[in-house]
Chains A and B, each alone.
Chain A
Amino acid sequence: DIQMTQSPSSLSASIGDRVTISCRASQSISTYLNWYQCKPGTAPKLLVYATFTLESGVPSRFSASRSGTHFTLNISSLQPEDFATYYCQQSYSLPVTFGPGTKVEIK
């Protein structure tokens, strides 16, 4: 199985801060990497698919990149609604696997 790791596991940030979340795959997954945002009591939300592509309706302050097996989700200017837990997920091979999550909290 492909193992996904994320760092940090949590971070504290202020409104307006730039935030970077990292995700690493245990082997090459090409660009088959998706990002999700999860808030308690609500359905998870797809943010980014195929490494770079923002899902329809996702604000442009979100962006994503890749370098080899290292993937990054960026939030350029953190907004109140962005406080959540973010998960990366690989679709390269079965079983589908998720990273352990990065919780973004209010400083």
Chain B
Amino acid sequence: EVQLVESGGGLVQPGGSLRLSCAVSGLTFSDHSMAWVRQAPGKGLEWVGRIRDKANSYTTDYGASVTGRFTISRDDSTKSLYLQMTNLRADDTAVYFCVRDYFLVGAVRYFDFWGQGTLVSVSS
């Protein structure tokens, strides 16, 4: 059974930092790109960014709203995904989902496994 379990969410003040973790089991973690998707309260889904696998040099890509503030990393030895968030703002308040970014062929890729999410609240 595939499991993605996020942790590290919580309440943080504006301008603060937080690091989210995602523990993955049940799939060959090292072979796949991974991503973070967030959902603000009462809002839709927003792609935060992704990290590709070793074969693709662990390259990262980010959404415009988090570029320069968030960093995605991974540890294939422990099957863990991370999201380092700095200079947090109120509009970063959201549930953050860890997802497998599955690449099939060409531009056919999709998020097929999701964690339950972890809530990040940015408020003074």
A residues adjacent to B (C-beta < 8 A):
1, 30-32, 34, 36, 38, 42-46, 49-50, 55, 87, 89, 91-101
Majority SS of interface residues in chain B? strand
Chain A positions within 8 Å of B64 at CB level: 1, 95
Task: Beyond A43-B97, A46-B112, list 7 extra A-B contacts (CB 8 Å).
Answer: A30-B107, A31-B108, A49-B104, A87-B45, A95-B63, A98-B45, A101-B44
Q: Say yes or no for B61: interface residue by CB 8 A criterion.
A: yes
Cross-chain pairs A/B with CB under 8 angstroms, 27 sampled = A32-B108, A38-B39, A38-B45, A42-B116, A43-B114, A43-B115, A44-B97, A44-B111, A46-B112, A49-B104, A49-B108, A50-B104, A50-B110, A89-B111, A91-B107, A91-B108, A91-B109, A91-B110, A92-B107, A95-B47, A95-B63, A95-B64, A96-B35, A96-B47, A98-B47, A101-B44, A101-B45
